[in-house]
Structure 1
Amino acid sequence: MTPDNRQLIRRSKIARLHVGAVPRALEICSGCGGLSLGLKTAGFELSAHIEIDSEAAESYALNFGGDRAAESEWAKPRDMERCSASQLVSDLGFKTSAAESFDLLAAGLPCQAFARIGRSKLRSVAGEEDAFQKDPRAALYRRFLQYVEDTQPLIILIENVPDILNFGGHNVPEEICEALERTGYRTSYTILNAAYFGVPQVRERLFIVALANELDQAPKFPVPLHFLDLPKGYEGSRRVALKHVDKTSRYFHAIPTPHRTLKNAVGTREALEDLPRITEHAIAPSVIRKRKLNDTLPYRDLKNRISSYAITMRAWPGFETDDAASGHLVRLTPRDFPIFAKMKHGGDYPHAREVAEELLAEAAATSGLAGARKHSKAYRELRASIVPPYDPNKFPNKWWKLDPSKPSRTLTAHMGKDTYSHIHYDSTQRRTISVREAARLQSFPDGFAFAGAMNSAFRQIGNAVPPLLALAVAKALKSLLCGTARGKKGATDRRAA
């Protein structure tokens, strides 16, 4: 596509938006739809998406498919490496070409795609050299650039982990910005923390924003709404990620920091307190085993104590709930229930082991094994029934008990395997968090449904962009886009004439 053709397509999109058209979004690697939910709530139309995971794609269809059938083309999982933009619009029955169909292109590309990619290699991906075309590590990025070329979006939004700033010593976002600039975009990147934007979770994410030159606007990022002193661990991780960031770079946007006068970040009690108390796992595990992910339970009656955050989760436009919500499944780990009950808030795995050793000593005394040899069969069996086997020196962060007054730690896709990283703060419930509680901590509204079984739902939640963070970013982009469309119409018409 020639530069002149690119300009004509982009200017046509600006003119379309000026007359009141809704900006259309295509998201690649959409997952279950955390970023999409933010875009939709900010006023973008979710025209199409691509997601290879079948259960995440099913969740996406459940929540955004509307009247579309579950087996429709729109709901199908797709592989971005095998599906072209032109094939996508053809499958979906669009009457417009790929270049005409989308105003915003978003992506949460897997970070592995960027590992150890050097500046010269990314330049080859952008078309200046061909030596890197066979390197499989760049396949997803190369494919993404092809989507940019084929769809000519006015806005590009990329989300990833902060470590992408320091992959093998390379600042990959800097290189991505350079590549996009050569194809006609003004670009910028920064780190945003979800807790600053109302999410009850300390979650650092890298965002890249690119705007078509025709918009004549600089990239924009949202301003924090909540204050939080970052925990030391996150400060250290941020320093490592920023090691190869040149603060004078024209692409790097200073990381937004909250002012102390802002309201405090949302704590886990504010986020979870109105959800049902779950104790069946300890007293009637068969109830949990029979419960389905989409079964609902009533909210707790807190009189007038329901938090504003809980109200937001119950009343999210398009995802409202009345007096009940679904997703109340928890893992059955009976050995560890007594440990959960006795752990202190903010306690980690070494602390959990200390608690377990205390419980073992009490049980040994009660059962008459206090003086038994520790290698005896009876003692070993008792120990195995009480004490987790993991070395606390090797797994210090394996467990963590929520602090009710503070945001949660980062939720990850590993929750699909275990949820010990998020033990409920309420010791009387002595358990790890439920699917719905994980969704709350990620800021998914209570009316958002998840396809698949419990493990899949946890994985989808951990992989997602927090919707409230996505909404903050999307609002910033939407205001910029709408303002440009209004203010630049005359100039656009003159240039196109």
Structure 2
Amino acid sequence: MYNIIDLFCGAGGLSLGFELAGFNILAGFDIEPNFLDTYKNSHPNTKGFNVDLNNIDILSFLKNNNIDSKDIDVVIGGPPCQGFSTVGNRMIDDPRNNLVRIYADIVNEIKPKMFLMENVSGLASMKNGQGELIKDELIDIFDEIGYNVKSKVLLAADYGVPQFRKRIFFAGIKKNYNFIFKFPKSTHHDKKSLFSFFENSNSYLTVKDAVSDLPTIECNESAEKYDKEPENDYQKFCRKNSKKLFNHKAPNHSKVVIERIKNIPQGGNHGNLPDDLKLKRGYSNIYGKLDENKPADTITGNCGCASAPGRFLHPTSNRVITVREACRLQSFPDYVEFMGSSSQQYKQVGNAVPPLLAKAIAFEMKKSLSKFE
């Protein structure tokens, strides 16, 4: 079994995916205590450290916590990138991107066989102030510390996640090993595409596929027990090892917000409202109602906003989605209980890597790791 550590682990979407692929998670690191509470709760056999990675000597820290850095096969994580300036310094010189540098330094100190770094998909086309693609700049950083790196933007829906979520991944292998990592092939496709005619092709999972077995609730209601049987394999996966339904509480909306929601069709938004219910200002796609027959839009950290709903209205109930419904759209199993306040729970779910997407990558990394032996 291969060992990993997860830097900037958040609620643990990456870790969970690697765990589902058979990896052993030695430790997760995050500066947000509520995120780490969720992480530790769903990874009871993993050490969780609430630390600022800026302020520790990673090798000494691991040793003091009885983790031998030589046992770490893979480092994974998604360091936040905020300084995407188009003028001035290179991206890596921007102090707001220090965490990317910290991630690279930790990889350099531990020297694992492989690493995986995740970030927002927009990074694939962004340029720094010197006209370089930021992704190429990042690849150069890892090249300098001894890794061959491949990057690719992956769509979560292509791997059995009921969500049109794109993320960029950087996978690195030590240069002294003469092979290149291959990202996983898609397992799911749009039913209207040519791929749908292939024998082993699966259609994209939809919002309905993901949440139809959850108890029906309206504003300010909650449910802790299932009242329906699972209707498909995805729901069976989500409910495996779950005896209680966590985080299925609907936010409370004002009467005018509910009235707006009632007047929006599935797949519609604020633009579908009659003039007397429209807001005078705001983004055109607010009050977006999910289409139950399609994958969801990209789940964000504010997907549960009750006073000014974004693009995450429930397709059939007059409310925004619950934390648990957001989890289902991200492919988090139901046994994962999200900790902290309601807003913190939504943020944790929205910031996470979908576990099933992480699992697909982890299986490919496992194939690469077998070549080291």
Q: State the TM-score, normalized to the length of structure 2.
A: 0.90
Distance 1:204 1:220, change over 3 A: same
What's 1:389 paired with? 279
Residue aligned with 1:207, SS: strand
Alignment of 1:123-142 (within 5 A): 135-142=94-101
2:304·2:323 contact (CA, 8 Å) conserved in 1?
no
What's 1:106 paired with? 76
2:225·2:245 contact (CA, 8 Å) conserved in 1?
yes
What's 2:180 paired with? 218
Distance 1:58 1:162, change over 3 A: same
**Which consecutive aligned stretches of 4+ in structure 1 deviate over 4 angstroms post-superposition?**
113-118, 416-419
1:425 aligns with 2:315: yes
Residue aligned with 1:176, SS: helix
What's 1:56 paired with? 35
Residue among 195, 198, 202 paired with 1:263: 202
Deviations 1:197-250 (A, max 9, x none): 0111000110111111233220110110111289xxxxxxxxxxxxxxxxxxxx
What's 1:312 paired with? 237
Residue aligned with 1:450, SS: coil
Distance 1:85 1:115, change over 3 A: farther
What's 2:224 paired with? 297
Q: 5+ residue gaps in structure 2?
A: none
Alignment of 1:30-69 (within 5 A): 30-66=9-45
1:115·1:137 contact (CA, 8 Å) conserved in 2?
no
Structure 2 distance, partners of 1:199, 1:159, is 17
Structure 2 distance, partners of 1:137, 1:111, is 7
Structure 1 distance, partners of 2:175, 2:84, is 26
Distance 1:36 1:116, change over 3 A: farther
Structure 2 distance, partners of 1:471, 1:406, is 22
Query: Shift in Å at residue 176 of structure 1?
Result: 1.5
1:111·1:164 contact (CA, 8 Å) conserved in 2?
no
1:182 aligns with 2:152: no
What's 2:215 paired with? 276
Query: Shift in Å at residue 415 of structure 1?
Result: 2.6
2:4·2:25 contact (CA, 8 Å) conserved in 1?
yes
Structure 1 distance, partners of 2:53, 2:120, is 20
Distance 1:187 1:31, change over 3 A: same
1:321 aligns with 2:257: no
Residue among 468, 472, 485 paired with 2:372: 485
Query: Shift in Å at residue 328 of structure 1?
Result: 1.2
Query: Quick check: which one's helix share is greater?
Result: 1
Deviations 1:281-319 (A, max 9, x none): 2xxx4xx4xx6xxxx5222325xx70221111112xxxx
Distance 1:116 1:86, change over 3 A: farther
Structure 2 distance, partners of 1:138, 1:34, is 22
2:304·2:312 contact (CA, 8 Å) conserved in 1?
no
Residue aligned with 1:188, SS: strand
Query: Shift in Å at residue 41 of structure 1?
Result: 1.1
2:81·2:100 contact (CA, 8 Å) conserved in 1?
no
The sequence identity of aligned pairs, in percent, is 27
Task: Tell me which moved more, 107-116 or 462-471.
Answer: 107-116
Structure 2 distance, partners of 1:91, 1:56, is 23
1:332 aligns with 2:311: no
Aligned length: 364
Residue aligned with 1:209, SS: strand
